[in-house]
């Protein structure tokens, strides 16, 4: 029997408790999950790719069947390189579904046989986005229920520097 391996791609700028919840839940279903910090050079990030990989890795180190990697380019190229046929995507709301459906269809067109697994966010995290976390943290708001203490500390350090 072959191993059930999946990838969970995202920018993770920063990784939130919602992301962590998705990985924790799917780590019980898949034998191994590659959490892939995606990097698009034309996009502006708060954290560098190295910081995002490090912080995501530290946030998930309690899961023995999860590894963190990064990729610059198309997600399907990473999936091909790793020989992975399963992709995990979290959904918070109907608006996520529309975008994710378009991406799933495009990715499956480029990489036939790729299966996209949509997992609804836990209701506790259904409204959290990395963008919202950054916006609230930028103005000194409390993000402690949305991110780990590590990420909260790193956000405070980032916004003191800017």
**What residues pair up with 117 in beta bridges, in sequence order?**
88
> Which residue among 19, 34, 52, 89 is the active-site one?
19
Is 130 an active-site residue?
yes
> Which residue among 28, 42, 43, 64 is the active-site one?
43
Q: In what order do the strands lie in the sheet with 32-39?
A: 66-72, 32-39, 5-10, 86-91, 115-120
Within its chain, how far is the Cα of 80 from the centroid?
19
> Which residue among 25, 32, 85, 92 is the active-site one?
92
Q: 161: which 2 tokens?
A: 């520097």
> Which residue among 39, 121, 130, 134 is the active-site one?
130
CB–CB of 24/63 below 8 Å? yes
Q: Mark residue 73 as left, alpha or beta (left: phi above 0; alpha: psi -120 to 50; beta: remaining).
A: left
Is 43 an active-site residue?
yes
* Catalytic sites, residue numbers: 19, 43, 92, 130
């Amino acid at each position: 029997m072959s191993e059930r391996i999946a990838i969970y791609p995202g920018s993770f700028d920063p990784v939130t408790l919602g992301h962590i919840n998705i990985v924790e839940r799917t780590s019980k279903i898949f034998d191994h999950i590659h959490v892939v910090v995606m990097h698009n050079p034309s996009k502006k990030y708060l954290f560098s790719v190295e910081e995002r990989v490090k912080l995501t890795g530290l946030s998930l180190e309690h899961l023995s069947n999860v590894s963190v990697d990064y990729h610059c380019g198309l997600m399907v190229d990473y999936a091909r390189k790793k020989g992975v046929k399963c992709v995990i995507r979290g959904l918070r709301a109907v608006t996520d579904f529309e975008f994710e459906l378009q991406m799933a269809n495009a990715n499956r067109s480029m990489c036939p046989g790729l299966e996209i697994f949509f997992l609804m966010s836990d209701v506790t995290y259904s409204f959290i986005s990395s963008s919202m976390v950054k916006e609230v943290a930028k103005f000194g708001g409390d993000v402690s229920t949305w991110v780990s203490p590590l990420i909260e500390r790193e956000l405070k350090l980032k916004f003191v520097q800017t």
